[in-house]
Structure 1
């Protein structure tokens, strides 16, 4: 009988991790006749005034400004905005390359997004098909298909819920029957030791720390063009929140490529021992 593949899950933030900047800044914010700094300043002001979660505040500002500027906000519109997002070097070929390497080692690699950005915009990217599940902030839509209300708002700590969903195999957001149920460690589909989290910002820290503390691996990436990003990523290692820092370059033989392949080797070796 064919040998059963060992599961390995890689979870990624999106903005600043797989793509430079924030996804709203490519085409959506310009469509509102605003500059990025102006938009985010209004978000912070709204959050402070209402004592609100900043993720919910940005979603509210998106809808209000879109209404005032007559910018359509149907799911297809968000997907179209997402199609304009640029990706970091090597991302286009990353998934096929890592999947093939994993398979050659008897490891089945699955990819997940856990992001404070918009799931609808991720759906519009050319890499959307590579993910088993996209966990990101998103909207509910009315009978005309227009975004009216947040469905999910992903902030610092809510992100960690989705690592447990992957760990327990409870992948549907609306279904809480398994996520809140006791599942013995040996019965969980993807052990935390077989998980990698790749992120870049403060909203990723709880996920990074959880995965690292549970025996998995966390990688802090940074854009070389962003001032202070390298020292910020390196500091996450000093603080014990990440295992590795690297430039956000997913090209073959790059630092991230080598690190993830080494982790696959480690998972394969552990699988042989057990």
Structure 2
């Protein structure tokens, strides 16, 4: 039987203010609006996808001397100091306590699937909470300077990693094996079926994950940053277009609407797992 549920998060603007923008600001790019809207946005007309476009422009900025070299050390240093949204530090223990109370035999796992930079996210102070962090990755030259994207995670790329979770293809044994995700696994041998998952995200790259879980009776949750009113309309479209059935401010403090909804969602899945186990034994 399936005794594991997974809470899967996007990262930037979901669990924390955009860490990529934070890194660029710290590196010396003051006009972030111009970087994102004009420099990165201008590539869309040339049929670039958003994620490789921003990675290319970051690397170009470093190679031209506008910012210092992008290195694993500089990314990790920023990740260690990057701020998080309110309440995120204590969220995981609250959800674990909820799951244990609802179903003591249940295993609760946390994951990140992000278009942001893996070398940043793996250095954040909550990185240890996650079974796996999948994100965009960079290739470095012998001097340690980023020169090319090694992995791009965007749009339907994100659903690929939901299938990794579903099929149990996590951990070091499956690193460097990109074709394993195509392995056919029967539902009886899925460690975490899609209807045992919660996905929390904020942006357009999260829409395929929202849709996949909604179609398979998982729980998609959209969040928005209350400090960026210009993005509220985009967030509300997730509800109006039927991508998700709920939308919350990215405030994870105990007692907040989002914290309460996550607790209810974890409790609901935990009880579903317990009921399935009882029915199976019966």
**TM above 0.5:** yes
Whether 1:92 and 2:80 are equivalent positions in the alignment is no
Counterpart in the other structure of 1:178: 180
Counterpart in the other structure of 1:154: 153
The alpha-carbon deviation at position 228 of structure 1 amounts to 4.6
Question: 3-state SS of the aligned residue for 1:18?
Answer: coil
Tell me, which stretches of 5 or more residues in structure 1 are unaligned?
Answer: none
Cα shift readout 1:214-254 (whole Å, capped 9, x = no counterpart): 11001111122221544443432232211321111111122
Distance between the aligned counterparts of 1:260 and 1:30, measured in 2?
Answer: 33
Distance between the aligned counterparts of 1:230 and 1:46, measured in 2?
Answer: 25
Cα shift readout 1:76-106 (whole Å, capped 9, x = no counterpart): 1111122332111100111122122222322
Alignment of 1:135-214 (within 5 A): 135-171=134-170, 172=174, 174-214=176-216
Whether 1:74 and 2:71 are equivalent positions in the alignment is yes
The alpha-carbon deviation at position 176 of structure 1 amounts to 3.6
Which of residues 34, 38, 48 is equivalent to 2:34? Answer: 38
The alpha-carbon deviation at position 270 of structure 1 amounts to 1.9
Tell me, which stretches of 5 or more residues in structure 2 are unaligned?
Answer: 277-282
Of the structure 1 ranges 257-266 and 189-198, higher mean CA displacement relative to structure 2 is found in: 257-266
Distance between the aligned counterparts of 1:195 and 1:185, measured in 2?
Answer: 14
Question: 3-state SS of the aligned residue for 1:9?
Answer: strand
Contact 2:95 2:266 (8 Å CA) reproduced = no
Of the structure 1 ranges 180-189 and 238-247, higher mean CA displacement relative to structure 2 is found in: 238-247
Q: CA RMSD in A?
A: 2.0
Question: 3-state SS of the aligned residue for 1:161?
Answer: helix
Of the structure 1 ranges 236-245 and 24-33, higher mean CA displacement relative to structure 2 is found in: 24-33
Of the structure 1 ranges 178-187 and 102-111, higher mean CA displacement relative to structure 2 is found in: 102-111
- Provide TM-score, normalisation by structure 1: 0.90
Identify if the C-alpha distance between structure 1 residues 231 and 268 changes in structure 2 by more than 3 Å, giving closer, same or farther. same
The alpha-carbon deviation at position 159 of structure 1 amounts to 1.0
Contact 1:168 1:190 (8 Å CA) reproduced = yes
Distance between the aligned counterparts of 2:257 and 2:3, measured in 1?
Answer: 24
Cα shift readout 1:54-89 (whole Å, capped 9, x = no counterpart): 211111111121122261322111111223321111
> Which structure carries more helix by proportion?
2
Which of residues 7, 24, 44 is equivalent to 1:10? Answer: 7
Distance between the aligned counterparts of 1:183 and 1:135, measured in 2?
Answer: 21
Counterpart in the other structure of 2:122: 123
Question: 3-state SS of the aligned residue for 1:204?
Answer: helix
Question: 3-state SS of the aligned residue for 2:180?
Answer: coil
Of the structure 1 ranges 114-123 and 145-154, higher mean CA displacement relative to structure 2 is found in: 145-154
Which of residues 205, 217, 220 is equivalent to 1:218? Answer: 220
Contact 2:115 2:136 (8 Å CA) reproduced = yes
Which of residues 203, 226, 242 is equivalent to 1:240? Answer: 242
Distance between the aligned counterparts of 2:29 and 2:241, measured in 1?
Answer: 40
Of the structure 1 ranges 159-168 and 138-147, higher mean CA displacement relative to structure 2 is found in: 138-147
